Amino acid sequence: MAKYKFDVHYKGTALEDNSIPVKDLAPSLLSLSEAFQTIQKINNPSEAPLSLNITATKKGSFLVELLLVNGKDLLKQAMDFLNSSPSTAVINLTTYVGIFVNVVKYINKIANKKIKDKKEENGKVTITLDDDSSITMSADEFKVYKNVNFRKEIHEVVRPLESDGIDSIGFSHDKSISVTVDHTDYKKFEVPTVQEKQLDTNESVVFLQIINVAFEHGKWKFSMGDSTFFADITDEDFLKAVEKNEQQFGSTDTLKVKLKTEQYLDKNGKLKSDYTVTKVLDHIKGSEEIELDLFDDKDSD
């Protein structure tokens, strides 16, 4: 099992008695653990998940040791040990810590600026900011910088800075890899607004069974076999006919329509679909009477 010591140092007048409220410390360290797991997933998604263990405390600081965990299955641990190099695991941990420290620096430096240009070459990404300064980072660091989960996690990591009396949080490994976030920098770590991403739009002729009718131009609820959904209707002629009571509906009525489907990723990265009935082509009344199986003289011939 690979081990890599990583120090987190909280400083401020609130720590003069060598203590920090659990409500501030626990969420910060849990988010720190999640931030490293996010970095790991981006770089080595098949690797056993990392964990952060607190090993000791000393005045004004809390030491956190980063451990590469292979899982609870002892046989799997033995197989992993025989088939992999411990040095590789240590190299990975060093890489993750380096990415974490550098991305924290980039967030601090880029905050409140706009990116004018981005160039990718030889595994490096160079971005030019609106003040004409530029930053070059590795492609992996850029992926982490853009990752919304990491940005949420690092925001929680530095949240103790929101409290009075905590002036800074430092992250380091043997002083060779280090970064400090000051109280005045806290707002720079607010999570950027994620825009919805349009994926696809298509229109098709389908049959929809009516579940609920929206008489005041709200969304109608439809069934399309094994799925139900809400949809807007933008066919003005049909809507006017509904208002004038020229269209009446039964519980099993079906509409033949032109249905526009728009798929997109929302601000949380979840796949969503919006439906719009652009034209009602036919209104098929549901069955209200039993259809009789009438005897046909021809059947007796």
Q: Are residues 156 and 202 in the same domain?
A: no
Q: What is the pLDDT of residue 286?
A: 77
Q: How many domains are contained in the chain?
A: 2
Q: Is residue 290 part of a domain?
A: no
Residue 50's nearest CA partner among 28, 27, 30, 66 is 66
Cα–Cα distance, 92 to 40 (Å, whole number) = 9
Q: Are residues 140 and 201 in the same domain?
A: no
Scored b (16 or more CB within 10 A) or e, 159-198 reads bbbeeeebbbbebbbeeeeebbbebebbebbeeeeeeeee
Q: For 158-192, what is each residue's pLDDT tens digit? A: 999 988 888 899 988 877 788 999 999 999 999 88
Q: Are residues 82 and 217 in the same domain?
A: no
Q: What is the pLDDT of residue 18?
A: 63
Cα–Cα distance, 230 to 222 (Å, whole number) = 6
List alpha helices for 147-273, DSSP H.
148-157, 236-243
Dihedrals φ, ψ of 190, to 5°? -60, 145
Which of 170, 189, 208 terminates a domain? The answer is 189
Q: For 141-164, what is each residue's pLDDT tens digit? A: 999 999 989 999 999 999 999 888
Q: Give pLDDT < 50 ranges for the chain.
A: 60-63, 65, 67-84, 289-290
Pairing of strands 271-284, 228-233: parallel
Other C-beta atoms closer than 10 Å to the C-beta of 31 total: 18
Q: What is the pLDDT of residue 91?
A: 74
Q: Are residues 70 and 184 in the same domain?
A: yes
Q: Are residues 168 and 245 in the same domain?
A: no
Q: Are residues 136 and 204 in the same domain?
A: no
Q: Are residues 166 and 205 in the same domain?
A: no
Quote the domain boundaries for residue 55: 3-189
Q: Is residue 207 part of a domain?
A: yes
Q: Are residues 232 and 124 in the same domain?
A: no
Q: Are residues 9 and 122 in the same domain?
A: yes
Q: Is residue 296 part of a domain?
A: no
